[in-house]
Structure 1
């Protein structure tokens, strides 16, 4: 049995997939299996996967059922104690699994492990910023997920490794959520587990304006935050985390003219948990929000990402 099961769900990622798979095969720690589920791709993804001749690759095809269903299918086929998540358009540095293996040995009682994940777009690669006081490069800490993730999440779908028992306790991805499946999973993890986090960027996230999270405009297809409100009293950092996510959905609702949706999320927000930029945007007109969103997209294509979270 391999030490790690690497799970990759694929849907039309021909432009990135070869680099993704190659980054796993190039790992200095070689005790792993790869589970790839092709979720009904219509491009050349299948040919790319089959071009790799390595016995550690296990390939499965299914009719298109969505990212959550494909990820769950891959997880169900794993045989290892530790499950390493990886999106089909992201990639790892060669020492990623070696680093995780060392973290597992150093913190044997913990179940959730992650490293920093750099962000790459067409023009620029940027280092992530987290809401962790005095965090030093290459430092390792055992952290509360919520208060560490107000700016960027310390858990991502390409820089997180979970003990298999985590899924037995909290469940797998919710396939009904079109955009925000990851956040939903992270919340459930944060309610039960600490995160062993190493502030070294061993993973790279390829930012794409065409991704589901950036092209899903129907707020009914976003994560449902309301079931988690009941846990705020037990987790003091959860309320602010939920407020920031309500803020994001409220802004989307206002931009798309969904006044009812905006008011629904607006009333849930304690504005003391927002920074000045976020409070300004929350009270801006729909026209101004659309103009600012357009400017943000233009700057992102130039390698100048903007964020209301820092």
Structure 2
């Protein structure tokens, strides 16, 4: 029996872009078997703006606002399907996205998900080439091939929700997206971290998704301040979900997340939490000199501000 695939869109105040996203789904060379749009308590006219031609082809769910993780989880569990493809309401798929994903996953049954390169436009050329720079070929990849903390982060960052198709049994086994506390930052990485540290993925270097950074209001478009990454706040829970043989590798990544967090805290003069964070997330093994220098700058910045972090 051919595999069924469902497209899931979390919708929150995206009146200006929801029809563009839906148009890209309807233009797929392999149309999804179902399209579920989950309105996450929008306060604008996002739902009313959905064009009639699309309204007739989707299932629309409405839930109280709980964040994108909860909306994605609700949509994914609403329809029975073998594969789940997520698309943010401000992004769009290129026409061959689903067909390419289904071919790859059929050919590589050990892969838990398909991950495609995403296009962010020519004005952000460096970001546009990030996936291609990290992965020199399309095919099966494991996080075991990466050891530098920066490369580990890039591996996780390459798994963008709008360009990923995940097997339903894998999604359920990993527990879905982080959906607590109306989280709007890192809720997707919570799932993709577990995926990456548990099983291989198929990486496609071709651009299959257009990621509209200019329309994002929750993540990349935020300037500076955001909630702490759930991977840092619930690190012990995350470690328990990861195979024991990869926990040391996970700790290297968490230490790098911690470094980024403490850099932001130090930059705005909020050094009170820096010592505890540095103690909780220490770099292990060989540390690249650039990261040592960055950590030292955090120390010096907080020292000048009168709150020196303890030596890590």
Q: TM-score, normalised by structure 1?
A: 0.79
Secondary structure class of the residue paired with 1:135: coil
2-structure distance, mates of 1:145, 1:56: 41
Equivalent residue number for residue 261 of structure 1 = 273
Check the 8 A contact 2:117/2:209 in 1, yes or no: yes
Equivalent residue number for residue 162 of structure 2 = 158
1-structure distance, mates of 2:176, 2:73: 6
For residue 235 of structure 2, the aligned residue among 214, 217, 226 is: 226
Q: How many positions carry a matched residue from both structures?
A: 285
Tell me how far 1:17 sits from its aligned partner: 1.8
Name which of structure 1's ranges 279-288 and 44-53 shifts more when overlaid on structure 2.
279-288
Tell me how far 1:190 sits from its aligned partner: 2.4
Tell me how far 1:74 sits from its aligned partner: 0.9
Change (3 A) 1:270 1:22: same
2-structure distance, mates of 1:120, 1:132: 16
Gaps of at least 5 residues in structure 2 are 303-312
1-structure distance, mates of 2:227, 2:54: 42
Which whole-Å deviations, capped at 9, do the CAs of 1:60-107 have from their partners, x for residues lacking one? Answer: 122222222211211121221100111111111111011001102211
Change (3 A) 1:285 1:112: closer
1-structure distance, mates of 2:265, 2:209: 32
2-structure distance, mates of 1:64, 1:134: 37
Equivalent residue number for residue 283 of structure 1 = 296
Q: TM-score, normalised by structure 2?
A: 0.78
Tell me how far 1:207 sits from its aligned partner: 1.9
Change (3 A) 1:81 1:179: same
Tell me how far 1:6 sits from its aligned partner: 0.7
Gaps of at least 5 residues in structure 1 are 290-310
Which whole-Å deviations, capped at 9, do the CAs of 1:15-62 have from their partners, x for residues lacking one? Answer: 322211111111011243111001111222112225333644111122
Check the 8 A contact 2:115/2:165 in 1, yes or no: yes
Change (3 A) 1:88 1:274: farther
Equivalent residue number for residue 294 of structure 1 = none
Check the 8 A contact 1:2/1:31 in 2, yes or no: no
Check the 8 A contact 1:130/1:150 in 2, yes or no: no
Change (3 A) 1:40 1:216: farther
* Higher fraction of helix: 2
Change (3 A) 1:58 1:210: closer
Q: Give the root-mean-square deviation of aligned CA atoms.
A: 3.2
2-structure distance, mates of 1:251, 1:190: 26
Is it true that 1:270 corresponds to 2:283 in the alignment?
yes
Is it true that 1:242 corresponds to 2:237 in the alignment?
no
